[in-house]
Amino acid sequence: MCGRFEISALDQILATFDADEAVELSPRYNIAPSQQIPIVRQDNGRRTITLARWGLVPYWAEHVFLGNKLINARSETVQIKPAFRDSFASRRCLIPATGFYEWRKSGRIKQPLHFGMRDSSLFALAGLWDTWTSPAGVKVESCTIMTTTPNSLLEDVHNRMPVILPRDTYERWLAPAGAKTHAELLVPFDGVLMRRYEVSPIVNNPKNDSPDCIAPLGSPIKALPSEAALVRPHSGLLDFPPA
């Protein structure tokens, strides 16, 4: 699953997604479910960045709080689950991030870990969105993060990871193509391109939202050997951790 993430490299966002910024954004270091997060959508051939509530509320839901249970959508069942299948067919989005958190269990202790790119660059999580209208006529836009099986960097920590989309697939994910084409993108991201490290338990409380959340705890940063190094010298909403 993906229950907490961060987006701090906002200077990269417009160039990375080739999008128009429709809202004012600030760095976030400990984003939790039910909060507003930026999403990138494609409307009439133009990409825009807007805000949506994290936790998808299907248009047919009786209450907005259903979204609290739908922060993630499993890639294996997204095409058949009533809460997600319509959004998967026609309402896909990119969710900018510079890292996400998971918790490694050791007895009763849960140690938070930060996962991101080797170069700390911005990346995109595969997302879905929907618009729900309250009985009073108030519209709520919401979203969910797709998940898949873990890559080699996550498999000893959790049995799921968010779907990270390579940059050359953004257009394909947002384009109104067939479901099979989009489903082919819902695979684990290459762990060789990522790194992880321990962070402070202050991340456990979403009220803590500062650069201290992403600071390494003091242990060595773990990254898998790069593909280049394998063949030649290298050249260059919760007050507790999600289950």
Dihedral over Cα of 59, 63, 67, 70: its sign: negative
* Catalytic one of 2, 93, 143, 213: 2
Report yes or no: 126 and 92 within 8 Å, Cβ to Cβ.
yes
143 is catalytic: no
Report yes or no: 117 and 133 within 8 Å, Cβ to Cβ.
no
Dihedral over Cα of 31, 28, 167, 85: its sign: positive
C-alpha distances in Å from residue 179, one per residue of 45, 80, 106, 173: 19, 11, 40, 10
* Catalytic one of 102, 141, 143, 213: 102
Specify burial of residue 146 (Cβ count, 10 A radius: 0-12, 13-18, 19+): buried
Contacts of 28 (CB under 8 A, 6+ apart): 6, 7, 8, 37, 209
Contacts of 184 (CB under 8 A, 6+ apart): none
2 is catalytic: yes
Q: Which residues are catalytic?
A: 2, 102
